[in-house]
């Protein structure tokens, strides 16, 4: 079974309609998770902690998609 690594991160956005952080140095890296279920649980926990801040958003990045050499979406060195 392969691990499908996920990154959970978030921070205050400049505009809630965009994904641009107000202060990149303040981005909260919640952590890396080996599956979507555990990443989702961490995302949900972080989102609930900051529910009173309308500009704060958390995201789940599917890091395994960046390194999956079998898909066209994979990131490759330039």
- CATH class for the region spanning 6-67: alpha beta
Output the pTM of the full model. Answer: 0.78
What are the φ/ψ torsions at residue 14 (nearest 5 degrees)?
Answer: -65, -40
Residue 64's pLDDT band (cuts 50, 70, 90): confident
Strands 28-33 and 56-62: unpaired
Picking from 36, 55, 59, 35, the residue whose alpha carbon sits closest to that of residue 46 is 59
Q: How many helices (H) and strands (E) does the chain have?
A: 2, 3
Residue 73's pLDDT band (cuts 50, 70, 90): low
pLDDT, one tens digit per residue, over 25-52 is: 999 999 999 999 999 999 999 999 998 9
């Amino acid at each position: 079974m392969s691990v499908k690594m996920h990154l959970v991160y978030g921070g205050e956005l400049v505009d809630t309609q965009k994904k641009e952080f107000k202060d990149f140095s303040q981005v909260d890296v919640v952590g890396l998770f080996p599956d979507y279920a555990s990443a989702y649980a961490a995302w949900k926990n972080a989102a609930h902690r900051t529910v009173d801040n309308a500009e704060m958003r958390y995201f789940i990045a599917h890091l395994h998609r960046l390194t999956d050499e079998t898909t066209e979406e994979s990131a490759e060195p330039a």
